[in-house]
Structure 1
Amino acid sequence: MRVRVATVADAAGIAIIYNQGIEDRVGTFETQLRTEAMVASWFDDIHPIVVVEQEQEVIAYASTSSYRARPCYAGIAEFSVYVRRDWRGKGAGRLAMTQLLQESAAAGFWKLLSRVFVENEASRGLLRSLGFREVGIYEKHGQLDGIWRDVVIVEYLLPSNLATASFDQSSRHTL
């Protein structure tokens, strides 16, 4: 397995993996399958995205996206990690997240956060092993297929950027 920063050329492979997550109903409230063009729109030169490859096929990815529009949250990013079905449990998610943490620190972010379905023990275990902290549970956070689902809030503080008081998204550098 090889991990690297993703490019727009990886959008089709990322869409396949994300769509598996949507279909499996284990990692997202989303129900609409994504196209390559939809995933290509994620690439904004601000939020890191990484992929894990095996024999030049994308088998996993981890991505960041905007958390909130208010300037005080500019250094915080939401993240996601997804692994192709046939590669789950083989270390690809760990590899993707480890690289995403490095890329996020280099981009100047000071915190990554997400919400994970409470029953998704594989993701929760991976994130805990990487130093993510579970900070609480949002009960009945959303409905998926007509069923209320609870999510665990997870966060990771990027120590190299904690002393920074602000973040300029236009330059991707801490101020």
Structure 2
Amino acid sequence: MSRVRIAALLPEHAEQVLAVYQAGIDEGDATFETRAPDWTAFDKAKLPGHRFVALDGDGRVLGWVAASAVSDRCAYAGVVEHSVYVHPEARGRGVARALLDALIASTEAGGIWTIQSGIFPENTASLALHERAGFRVIGTRERIGRHHGVWRDVVLVERRSPLLK
């Protein structure tokens, strides 16, 4: 694998991050979204201390990971939902795993006890990646939403921190 560096996701990465996001959206099995948001909306929705990019040796964004709060209720202060996207040309090189590892490290350092996500069951590569990174399947939310006019299921996965006491 060529050199990959994990760094904080910053405004200077916005254009490339949103392009990677849109590429994942366009493939059809990553999200219910149909268009990547603008940078202002993306930036507002993601927790500043828990978002990273993978950069190649020339500083190009190969992928990104970011977490969002799941609720404003104090009982859920340690629970986040995450997304991870990798440029189609960078897949199979360990980029997603490096990004997940960075997210796990930052959330554990920040007192987060649960990272969760909903993954389309057809996205078998993402399900396998998450299993290898210590996530477990909680269950399937059947027909949870319509995507391009078709009801879709979502597999709910979570990783509980082993630091949880």
Give TM-score scaled by structure 1 length.
0.87
Extract unaligned runs of 5+ from structure 1: 164-175
1:170 matched residue in structure 2: none
- 1:1-150 alignment, distance < 5 Å: 1-45=4-48, 47-54=49-56, 55-150=58-153
The residue type paired with residue 69 of structure 1 is D
Deviations 1:97-121 (A, max 9, x none): 1111001111110110010000100
Once the two structures are TM-superposed, the CA of residue 44 in structure 1 deviates from its matched residue by 4.5
Name the CA distance, whole Å, in 2 between partners of 1:86 and 1:36: 23
Name the CA distance, whole Å, in 2 between partners of 1:136 and 1:43: 25
- 1:132-171 alignment, distance < 5 Å: 132-160=135-163, 162-163=164-165
Following TM superposition, the consecutive aligned residue runs of length 4 or more in structure 1 with deviations greater than 4 angstroms are none
1:8 touches 1:43 (CA, 8 Å); kept in 2? no
Once the two structures are TM-superposed, the CA of residue 21 in structure 1 deviates from its matched residue by 1.3
Once the two structures are TM-superposed, the CA of residue 38 in structure 1 deviates from its matched residue by 2.8
Q: Report the aligned-residue RMSD.
A: 1.4
1:2 touches 1:52 (CA, 8 Å); kept in 2? yes
Name the CA distance, whole Å, in 2 between partners of 1:79 and 1:139: 20
Deviations 1:119-145 (A, max 9, x none): 100000000011100010000011100
Q: Which moved more, 1:62-71 or 1:115-124?
A: 62-71
Sequence identity of aligned pairs in percent? 32
Q: Which moved more, 1:65-74 or 1:125-134?
A: 65-74
Once the two structures are TM-superposed, the CA of residue 59 in structure 1 deviates from its matched residue by 0.7
Extract unaligned runs of 5+ from structure 2: none
Change (3 A) 1:8 1:42: farther
Name the CA distance, whole Å, in 2 between partners of 1:96 and 1:44: 15
Q: Which moved more, 1:124-133 or 1:33-42?
A: 33-42
Name the CA distance, whole Å, in 2 between partners of 1:151 and 1:122: 14
Q: Which moved more, 1:113-122 or 1:11-20?
A: 11-20
2:47 touches 2:68 (CA, 8 Å); kept in 1? no
Q: Which moved more, 1:117-126 or 1:82-91?
A: 82-91
Once the two structures are TM-superposed, the CA of residue 43 in structure 1 deviates from its matched residue by 4.9
